[in-house]
Amino acid sequence: MTEEAGGARPTMADVARAAGISTALVSIVMRGVPGASDATRKRVLKIADEMGYVPDQRARKLRQSSSRLLGVTFELQQPFHGDLVEQIYAAAARRGYDVMLSAVAPSREEATAVGALLRERCEAAVLLGSRLGADELTRLARRLPTLLVARHTDVPGVGVVRGDDHAGVALAVDHLAALGHRHIAHIDGAGAPGSSDRRLGFLEAMGRHGLQDSAEVLTGGLTETAGADGMRYLLARETPPTAVVAFNDRCATGVLDVLGREGRAVPGEISVVGYDDSRLAKFPHVRMTTVSQDAPRLAEAAVSGALDLVAGREAAESVFAPHLVERATTGPVPGPAL
């Protein structure tokens, strides 16, 4: 494989693509520093020689001065992402790194947020709740060590740190079933990362308690509006559920708002469980029962995983067990009216 006549000189990214590894790992081989196996070194050097790749010495000199900067994309409107960012700052600082944030918002696409990280010479990209497709992730990972938080992917070379969403929502169902609830609804996250796992976990947990016939899943979303719309739909039923498991704390906040406006007692009439244990769940006037993903632990693992990729180590997936935090929005199933 050689440079095409009249074409551009092969780049390190081209070598990485041909070798099926990250650009960071190719860089390690070219610099002759620790972090790659002998077999990988031989293979990369052979491919580079066949392609006619010649290291750019000017770029090499620039790379010798590490930016010590981790890039992080996050959804501006998601409280749990804010909690993660706070913990990522602390975890990065303990390792002598700083953090560059790039927000995703209704007015700013994720591709734009990622592009900003690339321009700022970040050493790795940590994407919170990313919605990038497999092709986009593949292209990004070839340019920059990439790690996803709170989402699974099978894209080679991309690291993953996430909570076990399937087990987490089952904890909520187990808790409600132990309180005597038989009719439980789940307002899901529609197409949000983790939604399919939580939906399946809900249905399987309901079946395990013999409640499959009363299990109900509504298409929801990540916002208060999604939770409010779902709760209004459920209240219009002749027999509403006695408990609701929302996709996240923000969705659960919408559920609680509608119940308050309708004069429905929580948890006297209807119990509500959120997900994430974000700052919303901890407000004194809310005190929401929720499933905690443990933001400090996820952040610590995310920073460690990103720096492993920077060092040329193989991408890995770390999955952590969540735990239930019981507060004031759940209680025993209401008894029959007298």
Q: Would you say residue 60 has pLDDT above 60?
A: no
* 290 φ, ψ (degrees, to nearest 5): -155, 170
Percent of the chain with pLDDT over 90: 80
Q: Chain-wide mean pLDDT for the chain?
A: 92
Task: Give pTM, 2 decimals.
Answer: 0.79
SS3 helix, strand, coil % of the chain, rounded to 5?
45, 15, 40
**32 — pLDDT class (breaks 50, 70, 90):** confident
Residue-wise pLDDT tens digits, 260-286: 999 999 999 999 999 999 999 999 999
What is the per-residue pLDDT for 147? 98
Residue 54 vs residue 76, higher pLDDT? 76
Are the CB atoms for 303 and 91 separated by under 8 Å?
Answer: yes
pLDDT-based confidence at residue 7 (cuts at 50, 70, 90)? low
User: What are the beta bridge partners of residue 218?
Assistant: 187
How far apart, in whole angstroms, are the C-alpha atoms of residue 211 and residue 236? 22
Contact present, 270 and 234 (Cβ < 8 Å): no
The token duo for 261 is 């406006």
CA 137 to chain centre: 14
Over residues 15-43, the mean pLDDT reads: 86
How far is it, in rounded angstroms, from Cα 1 to Cα 311? 28
Chain centroid to Cα 97, Å, comes to: 21
CA distance 124 to 99: 10
Q: Is the pLDDT reported for residue 122 higher than 50? A: yes
Tens-place pLDDT, residues 64-100 = 457 889 999 999 999 999 999 999 999 999 999 999 9
Strand, helix or coil at 169? helix
Question: Per-residue pLDDT tens for 138-178?
Answer: 999 999 999 999 999 999 999 999 999 999 999 999 999 99
Residue 81 phi/psi, 5° resolution?
Answer: -65, -35
